[in-house]
Structure 1
Amino acid sequence: MSSSAGPVIDANLAVALDALLTEQSVTRAAARLHTSPAAMSRTLARLRRILQDPLLVRAGQAMVPTPRARALREETAAVVHRLEVLLAPGAGVDPALLRSTFTLQAADLVGAALAPGMARLSRQEAPGISLRFRSEELEAGSALRDGRIDLEVGAIDHVDPETRIEELVTLRMAAAVRPGHPLTEGALTPDRLAAADHVAVSRRGRFTGPLDAALAERNLRRRVAVVLPSHLAAMNLAASSDIVCLVPTALPGDAPSPVTDTATALGLRLLDIPVPLPPLAIGMAWHPRHAADGGHHWLRNAVRRTLRAPGATAA
């Protein structure tokens, strides 16, 4: 049985045709594509057979395009450009051409720190993208694996073997209180901190955390009056009462962290905690299938630039 399918044309012919129509010279087209004039002459002959048109004809010492060649020139250049975009490494994608929705999972405080900077960067560099922030409602490892979220940002507490994890910033915990709170007067001692009423932040409803362990070593125990699942709700409570809320802040000598901007905006006073607590590492996690994706590469770099010092970049 005969087939009516047309000839199979490889992409190299489109690239060669673009070079020939642009240069209007076999020699210059060969130099542009790093091949020999003889090889380019054979390619031109093949193109003439396929298109059934001479394409370039001799006019004195030069070659000029036929009407068919002039008609093909703009479309050929567009096809070659699309091929270059299609076959370019993903990390080299032009953010301005992205048309994607990225889903990030983050605690409310981290999301509040990220959203303004990320929105600004997307407006400036990638206006075609949309950002969806989800609270910490999903099991991050499986959600990254099955594509329900593109990036997790926060205190990464799962260690799935395939997950890529990058630390972004290290913070310490401080005691946030309203202006005029009794703890702002005089030295803050472990005894005074333990005697105050506290709000704990826990998605799982837990009353205890690292501060309780540190106080217990000194035979002290704090009273947790309220447990809330949200840092923002806890900070609002502290701003309007005598309850103490723990919030992350920059390490001594580091630049202020966007994560603590909300505490400043609420007018909270940040007090050094008089017992040693482990530092809080804020990082991001993603599935390795996104490692070379250009859009995801932009997303990760935008998160870095938002949470780190300006100009921070990484692979």
Structure 2
Amino acid sequence: MPDIDLNLLTALNALLTECSVTRAAKRVGLSTSAMSRTLTRLRQATGDLLLVQAGRHMVPTPYAIALAERVHETTINAHALLQPANQHLDLANLERNFVIRASEGFIDLTAAALLKEMQQTAPKIRLLFVNKADKDAQALRAGDIDLEIGVLGTDAPELKTRLLFSDRFVGVCRRGHPLLNAGVTPERYASFPHIVISRKNQLHGPVDAALGRLGIKRQISMCVPSYHSAIKVVAASDAIGLMPFTVMCWSDPASELVHFELPVNTPPIKVSAIWHPRLQADPVHRWLRETILAICRSEHERYTGPQA
């Protein structure tokens, strides 16, 4: 077999990421001239120019663009394979950032407990939460986020998942709401105005499908992007809300809201941790996953009892 120089792979990843010989050199700790020679070797090895001058900048060729994602993943995996299998994990002194894509509800419910655990165990690790605008797998594949929390919404076959807890939808209304006076039937439930929580103005969901099978349609009067907004509207009106049971359980106990079981059956909500396989064996990422799992299950069991 011909010798394979993995240093070329590391250099190629830096060049395609930075699109600059100078910045790529700094990224991997080489001189600019050494990186320039490495680019020449890479051009010879691949038969492609990879980066070409465009005015004062360099731009990737179509071949380089096609390679970029594979090169990035392969580089990370290669470095992981060539590290000791049993690394000593010094969490107390480890500095690292993790980008987590999660919903507003998850952040509200777990961030305080996560912070407490990190301060005790890994005070130099930072968790950077970003908005869950979508469920596209590309951010995980590209390494833009390290972990996603929520319902699996992609058919990307390579992603790893771990169930954190199962949830269910419940109805929410203000205390003293007339719906509660005579029993919550499908007809009475649908007869009041409803407020929907959706980041993309998706007005219909599982409860509408269940009502539809009974020939009933609810009146949707408003759509808001967050639980906080919905709670304020529901507390001050006769509107009916819909949210996961755990969100309601972990909300302010002095809230003017009450929850009730829906008069129709809806599928359970499977809340999972989702990550790319390149981080599967990363010991720090594994610690983070296990920490989040333990906190989620502890809080969930506090209100609902142990899961089967």
Distance 2:263 2:242 in 1: 13
- Does residue 262 (structure 1) correspond to residue 259 (structure 2)? The answer is no
How far off is 1:99 after superposition? Answer: 0.6
Output the TM-score relative to the length of structure 1: 0.65
SS at match of 1:192: helix
Counterpart of 1:97? 93
Of the three residues 284, 291, 313, the one matched with 2:280 is 291
Name the structure 2 match of 1:61.
none
CA distance in structure 2 between the aligned counterparts of 1:283 and 1:267, rounded to whole angstroms: 30
Quick one: which of 84, 88, 97 aligns to 1:87?
84
Matched, 1:233 2:229: yes
Question: SS at 2:199's partner residue?
Answer: coil
Q: CA deviation at 1:106?
A: 0.9
Contact 1:95 / 1:298 at 8 angstroms: preserved in 2? no
Q: Which residue of 2 aligns with 1:132?
A: 128
What is the aligned counterpart of 2:292 among 294, 303, 306? 303
Query: RMSD of aligned C-alpha atoms?
Result: 2.1
Aligned counterpart for 2:238 among listed residues 242, 245, 249: 242
Aligned residue identity for 1:134: V
Q: In the aligned structure 2, how far is the partner of 1:216 from the partner of 1:258?
A: 26
Assess if the C-alpha contact under 8 Å between 1:112 and 1:259 holds in 2. no
How many Å separate the matches in 2 of 1:154 and 1:240?
29
Whether the 8 Å contact between 2:166 and 2:271 is mirrored in structure 1 is: yes
| Structure index of larger Rg | 1
Whether the 8 Å CA contact 1:305–1:311 is kept in 2: the answer is no
Q: Which residue of 1 aligns with 2:25?
A: none
Percentage of identical aligned residues? 32
Letter in 2 for 1:303: I
Partner of 2:201: 205
* Unmatched runs of 5 consecutive residues or more in structure 1: 1-85, 250-256
Shift of residue 219, structure 1, vs aligned partner:
1.3
CA distance in 1, matches of 2:249, 2:192: 22
Aligned residues: 219
Change (3 A) 1:95 1:140: farther
Following TM superposition, by how much is the alpha carbon of 1:134 offset from its aligned partner in structure 2, in angstroms? 0.9
Structure 1 contact 178–241 (Cα < 8 Å) conserved:
yes
User: In the TM superposition, what whole-angstrom CA distance separates every residue of 1:195-219 from its partner, at most 9, and x where no partner exists?
Assistant: 0111111222111111111111111
Does the Cα contact within 8 Å between 2:165 and 2:300 map onto a contact in 1? no
Shift of 1:282: 0.5
Whether the 8 Å contact between 1:173 and 1:248 is mirrored in structure 2 is yes
Q: Using the TM superposition, give the Cα deviation of residue 187 of structure 1 relative to its aligned residue in structure 2, in angstroms.
A: 1.1
Aligned AA for 2:290? N
Alpha-carbon spacing, 1:311–1:276, altered in 2? closer, same or farther (3 Å): closer
1:200–1:207 contact (8 Å) kept in structure 2:
yes
Once the 2 structures are TM-superposed, how far is the Cα of residue 114 of structure 1 from its aligned partner? 2.0
Deviations 1:5-46 (A, max 9, x none): xxxxxxxxxxxxxxxxxxxxxxxxxxxxxxxxxxxxxxxxxx
Question: How far apart are the structure 2 equivalents of 1:198 and 1:309?
Answer: 32
Q: Is the 8 A contact 2:103 2:131 kept in 1?
A: yes
- The correspondence for 2:142, drawn from 141, 146, 155, is 146
2:47 corresponds in structure 1 to: none
- Mapping of residues 152-191 of structure 1, within 5 Å: 152-191=148-187
